Structure 1
């Protein structure tokens, strides 16, 4: 599968490394000149030939970037791995929540894209092939397009995840809040190798 990752930070590079190891053809869409060890291209060019696009930028930049690429994203599966984090003096908080979400804003910015919220409730070190003593963790996802969610779910299962579908893109409100629970546990314990598991 051809994957375009929008964002060259830790999340983007972790996903690129993991999916490349699984045999996928990955390019990082970035305005930077180069990212060591990975193929790079300007964002619009990276998206153009992709089977799957992943949004892995800071939450504050997500909507503007997606809006600028809206035409290129028409009909494409767009995985939104972002969180609306506001890193203020009193610690992290969400800059949108309960009545709207960043996932919904991303979908509105590219109405014809098939947005799936996923990968936002775990640290980048565990995003591909998580190996935890409690067994495969659960990746929760949300989105309005069943086929898009199925494609993302298949990728997740092939790379070590259990999958739980929470429904439409509006469920991003609860996924983004779950990120805060993940952060709170990490801040309290000083450890970041944890993930959620849904028992059923």
Structure 2
């Protein structure tokens, strides 16, 4: 699959390298000329050419970037891996929540995109091929387009995840606060190699 990643930071690079290991054709959309030896291109060009795009930028930039590329993203599966984090007070908080979410804002900014919230509840080191005791961790997702969620679910399962579908894009209202729980565990223990898992009854 041709995958475009918008964002050249640790998340974008981790996903790019992980997807490439699984045989996907990956490019990072960035204005930088070079990103860790990974294939790059202008964001609009990368978004237009991809079958699936991952939004992997700071939460404060996500809505504006999605809006600026709305035309290129029309009809495309857009995986929103961002969180609306605000650390200006010294401890992480959400700059939107409860009655709205960053996932919903991204969907409104690019109304033709088929947005699926994913990857926002785990650190970048475990985003592809997570290896943890007790079996694969659970990736929680949400989005309004079932076919888009099926595509993302297939990609996640192929790269080591159990998948839990929480419903429409409004599920981002619950997923984004889960990031704070993930951060709290890391802050208290000083370790960051953890992930969530949903345990289900058999059958």
TM-score by shorter chain over 0.5? yes
- In 1, the alpha carbon distance for the partners of 2:35 and 2:173 equals 32
Aligned partner of 1:134 in structure 2 is 134
The 3-state SS of whatever aligns with 2:92 is strand
Q: TM-score, normalised by structure 1?
A: 0.99
- Aligned residue pairs, count: 200
CA displacement 1:152-187 (0-9 Å, x = unmatched)? 000000000000000000000100010010001110
Q: How does 1:47-126 map to 2 (within 5 A)?
A: 47-126=47-126
Q: 1:33: Cα distance to partner? A: 1.6
Q: 1:5: Cα distance to partner? A: 0.1
Q: How does 1:1-200 map to 2 (within 5 A)?
A: 1-200=1-200
The 3-state SS of whatever aligns with 1:88 is coil
- In 2, the alpha carbon distance for the partners of 1:90 and 1:62 equals 22
Ranges in structure 1 where 5+ consecutive residues have no aligned partner: none
Q: 1:150: Cα distance to partner? A: 0.3
Q: 1:127: Cα distance to partner? A: 0.1
Q: 1:32: Cα distance to partner? A: 1.1
The 3-state SS of whatever aligns with 1:116 is strand
Q: 1:87: Cα distance to partner? A: 0.9
The 3-state SS of whatever aligns with 1:139 is strand
- In 2, the alpha carbon distance for the partners of 1:87 and 1:30 equals 24
- In 2, the alpha carbon distance for the partners of 1:192 and 1:36 equals 23
The 3-state SS of whatever aligns with 1:53 is strand
The 3-state SS of whatever aligns with 1:18 is helix
Q: TM-score, normalised by structure 2?
A: 0.98
Q: Report the RMSD for the aligned CA atoms in angstroms.
A: 0.6
